[in-house]
Structure 1
Amino acid sequence: MSWRMPAETAPQERTWMAFPRPGNTLGDDPASAEAARTAWATTANTISEHQPVTVVVDPVARADADRLLSGAVEVLEAPLDDFWMRDIGPTFVVDDETGEVGAVDWVFNGWGANAWSTWTRDAEIAATVARAAGVRRLPSLLVNEGGAIHVDGTGRVLVTETVQLDPRRNPYADHARVEEELARTIGATDVIWLPRGLTRDYDGLGTRGHVDMVATFTEPGVVLLHAQPDPSHPDHLVMPQIRRALEQATDATIVEVPAPATLTDDGGPVDWNYVNHVVVNGAVIACGFGEAAADDRARGILADVYPGREVHTLDARAVFARGGGLHCITQQQPAGNLRQPAGNLRQPTTDLQHPAP
């Protein structure tokens, strides 16, 4: 088999998500927790207007999920530690000759064995999703997360030095080993190494450099890049480094998307950005930050780079407060010749053993 990860603009079968459950990431404040649950549910409900959505729900959160998710959203019940499906779920790939869809099951270790993270249950979610989707599971020994890669669908992939080469993720990896594994699993032929991620991503609940917070391909040869124009924000110095790395590695057209005006919150410099958006069939789900001018400007840029797609802006502040954006809580399954459809998963699933490769 020859596997390739399609671009996010390719036709999709469905979107996979996970629903917030009690724990360190959700927090103890009832109002804040409800805001997070609402943000996750609103994202799922909005995407379901364009394509099927399946949300993995921990049994302890089932009542909240049933209360907030629309009837169009399917539920798959399974134990969770956290709820960032981009990272704990599989990365879907296709075989162009047969049309078969596969699911890459990366090793997940809590974004580099962070002291605040637990991941025993999350490490099983990729296999659970692959089985529910009816696709072949493709195990990998690389510690990686879906938010740490962005592809153009033709073999180019964006990664960051501080994730795949993180000694707490892959202590024995080097550039060549990572590139060989990305070639085997997602069909990468050109790996573009960026030096790092946003400043906030190295504090608190951060991932230490996920690329989906700084850059994405909107089509082959076009990169959407976060920009921080305010000199008082530390990312004002970070983003030129990332732009230089892009310019040295590729001749792609770079389209910058300025950050909103807000610079800090209770946790320090914010990582608010519009690069972290979700592409679905016929639409783009954009992050909003309660700033009309900046949100409208970003919506216009996204409409230009994704012509023909409707742009929905959803308030993402409750998501960013927990360490990510709307892209981080979703994972797309590309269309293909599936061995069986995901079907109606509203009923609990109890067979959660890790399948054989």
Structure 2
Amino acid sequence: MTTPADHGFSMPAEWLPHERTWMAWPTEGYTLGNDPAEAYRAWSQVANTIARYEPLTMVVDPGAAASARTWLAPAVTQVERPLDDAWMRDIGPTFLTDGRGNLAAVDWIFNGWGAQSWASWSKDAEIAESVAELAEARRFASRMVNEGGGIHVDGEGTVLVTETVQLDPGRNPGWTREQVEAELRGFLGVRKVIWLPRGLTRDYGEFGTRGHVDIVAAFVKPGVVVVHSQPDPAHPDHEVCRENAAMLRAATDARGRRLEVVELLGPTTLEEDGEPVDYSYINHYLANGLALLCGFGDPRDEAAAEVFAKLLPERKIEFVDARPLFARGGGIHCITQQQPRV
């Protein structure tokens, strides 16, 4: 079996120009929760903001078309496909380019974040293929269970992952590090895999992903990675974050560069309903000319904005209140998926 890398394809960095953004509209279950309007407001604010900067297509379940029409701006293109859930980063394809004007897409196996008991995924498992077809991208089917939130690339040969996602027995039972790395090299076109041990504590709760990296660490430019920092020793993520930052500082990328690590302090809010929160500014999204940040109505929101403005001076910094997203298990990055411009 040939891989995308065999044909010269690789995953570009998120900060490179996009053709469009893809999202999925909330349909049912815990994502809607007890307050559907709250979910619609959160998803539509993200979509309507991004649509001011680049084209955006929203995949909508036929049964949810009326709500999508009510909440989404006219600039948002809507296409109907059956959906279970609304986390396009995870259910959608990972787009690739070959530098010669061609677009491809990785269709990972999706199994409800490790076959979790509450999840339904028969419809979502087909979304990557549908989106690849709509984007007119060449589809490559991986044999590995993976989600887009479980990987973060620098576009120059390096990918960040966590052990608890890639080696999760509910996702890839029996797989070794070597097998995972081989699949990532073949399907992302990377040469270096940087492993972090785990994600944030709340992400291992009932509706968590078991450690997605895109809430922990993310490349923002070649050689530069932002990493979540929890300064309060009383929070269970305090030691997790110290270990992750130390490992990243000791790491080199695919080009042999020592990484520049920028720590982003988490919000001052430490818990919600008696549970530790995983509120994180790492889970941002870079669209054309835009850095869209998770806002938490917190004193540290503006400090995070200042860090991003310094790192990405060419981009407008905007916030969307991400608390309704995090209450449902994710953030802004989790509900968006970029299609690079070829």
Give the TM bin, normalised by the shorter chain: over 0.9
Query: What does residue 180 of structure 2 align with?
Result: 178
Which amino acid in the other structure matches residue 310 of structure 2? D
* 2:71 is equivalent to residue 64 of structure 1: no
Query: What does residue 32 of structure 2 align with?
Result: 26
TM-score by length of 1: 0.91
Query: What does residue 3 of structure 2 align with?
Result: none
CA–CA separation in structure 2 for the residues paired with 1:76 and 1:92: 19
CA contact (8 A) 2:31 2:39 kept: no
Which amino acid in the other structure matches residue 123 of structure 2? R
CA–CA separation in structure 2 for the residues paired with 1:304 and 1:9: 15
Greater displacement, 236-245 / 281-290: 236-245
* 2:301 is equivalent to residue 295 of structure 1: yes
CA contact (8 A) 1:195 1:245 kept: no
CA–CA separation in structure 2 for the residues paired with 1:247 and 1:308: 26
Shift in Å, 1:226: 0.6
Query: What does residue 228 of structure 1 align with?
Result: 230
String of CA shifts for 1:157-197, please: whole Å, max 9, x gaps. 00000001111100121111111111111101000000000
CA contact (8 A) 2:30 2:328 kept: no
Query: What does residue 159 of structure 2 align with?
Result: 157
TM-score by length of 2: 0.95
Query: What does residue 255 of structure 2 align with?
Result: none
Query: What does residue 328 of structure 1 align with?
Result: 334
Secondary structure of the corresponding residue to residue 249 of structure 1: coil
Which amino acid in the other structure matches residue 43 of structure 1? V
State the Cα RMSD in Å.
0.8
Q: Give the % identical residues.
A: 56
Q: Which stretches in structure 2 are left out of the alignment for 5+ residues?
A: 1-6, 253-257
Picking from 70, 90, 93, the partner of 1:90 is: 93
Query: What does residue 288 of structure 2 align with?
Result: 281
String of CA shifts for 1:60-98, please: whole Å, max 9, x gaps. 1111100000000000101111100000000001112x2
CA contact (8 A) 2:92 2:107 kept: yes
Picking from 81, 85, 105, the partner of 2:84 is: 81
CA–CA separation in structure 1 for the residues paired with 2:308 and 2:98: 29
Query: What does residue 213 of structure 1 align with?
Result: 215
Equivalences, count: 331
Which amino acid in the other structure matches residue 202 of structure 1? Y
CA contact (8 A) 2:231 2:265 kept: yes
Secondary structure of the corresponding residue to residue 30 of structure 2: coil
CA contact (8 A) 1:179 1:188 kept: no
Query: What does residue 268 of structure 2 align with?
Result: 261
Shift in Å, 1:22: 1.7
String of CA shifts for 1:199-248, please: whole Å, max 9, x gaps. 00000110000000010001111010110011111101110111122123
Q: Which stretches in structure 1 are left out of the alignment for 5+ residues?
A: 337-357
Picking from 237, 240, 246, the partner of 1:238 is: 240
